Structures are given as structure tokens and as C-alpha cells.
Structure 1
Amino acid sequence: MRIISFNANGIRSAASKGFFEWLATQDADVVCLQETKAQEHQLADALFRPLGYSVYFRDASTKKGYSGVAIYTRRAPDEVRTAMGWTDFDEEGRYIEARFGNLSVVSFYIPSGSSGDERQAFKFKVMDWLTPQLQQWRDSGRDYVLCGDWNIVHTRNDIKNWSSNQKNSGCLPAERAWLDLLFGGQGWVDSFRALKPDAVEYTWWSNRGQARANNVGWRIDYQIVTPSLRERLQSCSIYTEQRFSDHAPYLVDYRA
């Protein structure tokens, strides 16, 4: 089974840069998108609904052209969920979950705090609210794959300029400590680090300057899995040969 996670930074923009043509060559079973920046009625064109896939959207209702998540899947899910029960989070279009038997695949878009103190405070609120929810999922007996842009690096190898970003959103000690809690205290598994313990690879680059050309990046896109799936992790890669957005697609292959 192949699962792809990708922050499109506008699904229409990514499509214009060849994302769906590339996707057609990937034999992906499930594709989780974040930051679609569109309403579903704007995506009726066949380009956004590739042959062989069912697609499910959760748009932002608070502001058009903002946030939004989607799941493309070859197999019809048993159930699709689009709300976790907190309006402030749900209405920004930050969560969608497809259920296949005992497996849940989630497309998450964790808020960024880079625009100012108000959004950083909301990000911390989201983190605090998600903590018991994720623990409940972890303890449920279901297999979970949590895809998405989490807007947080975890370790020094996940960011080019570690020291100079310690006071910047996405690399704050409190944010990284939260990932410590998820990976350590709760036992969730970072698929990339499980497969590539020492690799230095990134999934996002600022549009400022020559960040991408100089590989001044951050690894903030994840597939985080329950411990039950650790042994099924086969391989992973970050696709950087083409540029569809400021993020790169993150692919994971799982053993049957």
C-alpha cells in the first residue's frame, strides 16, 4: 500500500504545475492533501478527479480560499469523517479521516503560528486539545496513519538552520516538546525516522530568497503511525524532482 501526503498550497496551483500528471505515475492507494485553498464546487473539473480515485474534501467554511484538506483513495472507504468536535478547528478545514476496516487514514493540517501571536496562541491551543484525542486514538486498537503538514520540526536533522530558528514558530522548544510527547510518551511512530534514522531531508522551503535552490528547508510533513504499523513500514521518499508547491510530496510504502 502506498500513501502520499502533500501540502499543495492551493490545489489548483499545484495542478497547473503538473501535480496530477505526476500522481498518475505513482500507483498511490491513498493521497492526503492539505491546503487545498478551494471550495469543492470549484473542483468539478475532471483534472481534480483522476480516473480510479474517489475524492473527499473538507473545505474551510470560515474563509474561502483558505486551508482545506482532501483524501483521494482507490478503495471506497467504509466511512469518512470531517469533524473532530471543536468548531474553531473543524471549520478551518483541517481534518478529514477515511476508514477502511480497522485502518484510519487522516489528512491533518496543523495551524501555523508564523503570522503572529494570535495564530501562535491558536496553534498551542490546538496542540493541547489534540493531545488527549491522539492518546485516545493511540489506545483504540485501530491502526492510524496521520498524514499532513504539522508545521513543526522535531530534531536538528529536520531543519537546515537549527540555532537561528529556536525562537521561530515551527521550531519553538514547546512545539518540539509536544512531538516528543507524541513520539515518546504516547508511542506514535514518525515513519520517516523509523525508516531513515539519520537522514537529513526536507519537505518545505521558504519562497524567500533561494531557499529551495540552496536546500535551506524544514521537514514538517509527516506520516505518523500507530506502533501496530511500525513493522509494516517498507520504504519512504520525499519527491523533489518537480516543484508543485513550496512543499514536496512525502511517499510511504507499507507492507501488506
Structure 2
Amino acid sequence: MSSFSVTTVNVNGIRAAVKERSPENLGLLPWLSSLDSEAVALQEIRATREQAEEALAPALDDGWHLSMSESTVKGHAGVGVLSRTAPTTVRVGIGSDEFDTLGRYLEVDLPSALGEITVASLYLPKGAVDPAHTSTATETDERKFAEKKRFLAEFGDHLGTRIAEGRHTIVGGDWNIAPAENDLKAFKTNRRSPGFLPHEREWVADLFAAGWVDVMRRLTGDVPGPYTWWSWRGKSFDNDAGWRIDYHLVTPDLAGRASKSYVHRPEAYNLRWSDHSAVTTVFDL
């Protein structure tokens, strides 16, 4: 039996992620070279295609293929998929006039022993900003969250279409929504925080009701974590006070073939090259 592994990771800026920070922290590229996955969904590339190709040059020389959707807003968002084989088809966006030029979503079709599998990379809007970066945090948060709600409406329709088509699909990404209490450490103090609001969790629940499967949660059971994002500030990482906002949602038939899903959590804070950790899911074909 063959397998098909897919990884997702928010790189928090591809040019920063590949930099060697110390003899112990060599950045993204050595990690990527040791990865046994057919595809890697990337989010927050925050670079032009030319800049991303330059940063990833060793990986591309090693045989990886980069499909990418950059944002028209400089230094913002950007998604991509690195794949071992060249995609048969690449689709950018969800058919949205507002969001398709902002580097939020990309799909590629890849060959496998099961036939074509669609691997998608998603960077869902956070719906909030850091108050330190604005003098009108409340107004800006309201605007950002209104943007997120518009994206959820359009993207929900897109996912509904995809699951109705019946194709094998894996949507990996930074979903910026923790679906349940076990998906963040401090759930009691975050009930009014974007990423854990009732409207957002209901939206994810509707995806589950439509047939999409959170394969990590199915395989780990209803337990705390495993978390995938920790603030750079304080002792969040050391205390594992994180959020599980990076995951794979998978169409039902393919989800039934998922045998393993795990988080690539660094052994120490100083070995992090992103504030997110990668997530890999293995499918038995």
C-alpha cells in the first residue's frame, strides 16, 4: 500500500523563515529537505513570486515545484503549494472579486495512486489586528472582522461546491479559527476573541455537518491540542499555551484513509522559524 503525505505551515514570511539564525536554528530549508511529504501548503509567504523563488532556490533545485498566489498588497498574505510532482492544474482563488487577488487561497491537482488529489492552501483572515499597531484598534478590529465574515460566506460556498463535486480534496492552512475548547489552552478567557467567537465556530461546525473532516481531531480524539500556534511573547511556547488553528479539512472518502496526523513542534523556543508549527497528515492509498 502506498501513502500520500501532505503538510501545511504558515511560514510567517518566507524570506525570514529560510534565514539561518544560529548554529542550532538553520531555518526552514533543512527542515524541508528532511520532510517526507508529497505536498506542502504554505501561508503568509509575504513576498512576490520572484522573491519566493529566490528564497526557496535550494528546494526548487532539489526538485520541488512551487505554485503560488501572491497578494497585491505588498508584504501581505500570499499562499502557495510546494509539490514533488508538477501539478496537472493550478487554480487561484474562490471566484471572489474581493479576495482572489489577496493571496488567500490556491488549489493544485496532483497525481496519486488513488487518482488526482486536490491539495489547497488557505490563509483565512484573522479578523483582528494588534492594538499596538493602530491608534484606533476597536474600529480597525470591527473592519477586519467584517472582512473575515465576508470571506467566510464566500469561502463556505466554495467548500460546499467542492464537497458536492466528490473529488478527493485536502484543504490545509491557517484557518484562524479554533473550532472547540480543546483547540486553545486559554479558552475561558478568549470567548470574545476573534478566532474563537460563536459565529466562527458555528461556521466550522457547518463545514463538519456538510461532510468535511478535521482529520487531526478524528485521529487524536477529544483531547487538549495539539496546538500549532504560540505567541512570540512571554512564555506561551514554553508553557504550551497555544491555539490549534492550523489543520487539514478533508473530503469524507479520503479522510477515511488518514492514518496519522502530527504537529512538527520544535524542541525549544529558539529553534522556531515561525510562530506556527507545521502539521502533516498521512493518507494510506
Pick the TM interval, shorter chain. over 0.9
Mark the runs of 5 or more structure 1 residues left unpaired by the alignment: none
1:172 aligns with 2:197: yes
Which one of the candidate residues 33, 50, 54 is aligned to 1:41?
50
Distance 1:48 1:227 in 2: 32
Aligned to 2:211: 187
**Aligned residues with identical type, % of pairs:** 36
1:24 aligns with 2:33: yes
Name the SS of the counterpart of 1:135 in structure 2. helix
1:212 aligns with 2:237: yes
Distance 2:71 2:59 in 1: 18
1:162 aligns with 2:187: yes
Once the two structures are superposed, residues 75-127 of structure 1 have per-residue CA deviations (whole angstroms, 9 ceiling, x without a partner) of 11110011321122111101111013532110011001122111101001111
User: Which moved further from structure 2: 166-175 or 10-19?
Assistant: 10-19
Alpha-carbon shift at residue 129 of structure 1 (Å): 1.4
Distance 1:143 1:113 in 2: 29
Divergent runs of 4+, >3 A: none
Name the SS of the counterpart of 2:162 in structure 1. helix
Distance 1:67 1:230 in 2: 28
Aligned to 1:72: 82
Name the SS of the counterpart of 1:131 in structure 2. helix
Alpha-carbon shift at residue 225 of structure 1 (Å): 0.1
Q: Normalized against structure 2, the TM-score is what?
A: 0.86
Alignment of structure 1 residues 85-100 onto 2, 5 Å: 85-100=95-110
Aligned to 1:251: 280
Which one of the candidate residues 122, 146, 151 is aligned to 1:108?
122
1:196 aligns with 2:220: yes
User: Which moved further from structure 2: 198-207 or 64-73?
Assistant: 198-207
User: Which moved further from structure 2: 172-181 or 40-49?
Assistant: 40-49
Alpha-carbon shift at residue 130 of structure 1 (Å): 1.5
Distance 1:131 1:43 in 2: 29
Distance 1:71 1:83 in 2: 13
The answer to whether the 8 Å contact 2:228/2:244 transfers is: yes
Name the SS of the counterpart of 2:71 in structure 1. coil
Q: Normalized against structure 1, the TM-score is what?
A: 0.96
| Count of aligned pairs | 254
Distance 2:203 2:89 in 1: 29
Q: Structure 2 vs 1, CA of residues 57 and 203 (structure 1 numbering), >3 Å: closer, same or farther?
A: same
Alpha-carbon shift at residue 50 of structure 1 (Å): 4.8
Alpha-carbon shift at residue 26 of structure 1 (Å): 1.4
Distance 2:126 2:59 in 1: 26
1:54 aligns with 2:83: no
Name the SS of the counterpart of 1:202 in structure 2. coil
Amino acid at match of 1:167: R
Aligned to 2:134: none
Q: Supply the RMSD in Å over aligned alpha carbons.
A: 1.3
Amino acid at match of 2:220: K
Name the SS of the counterpart of 1:217 in structure 2. coil
Aligned to 1:82: 92
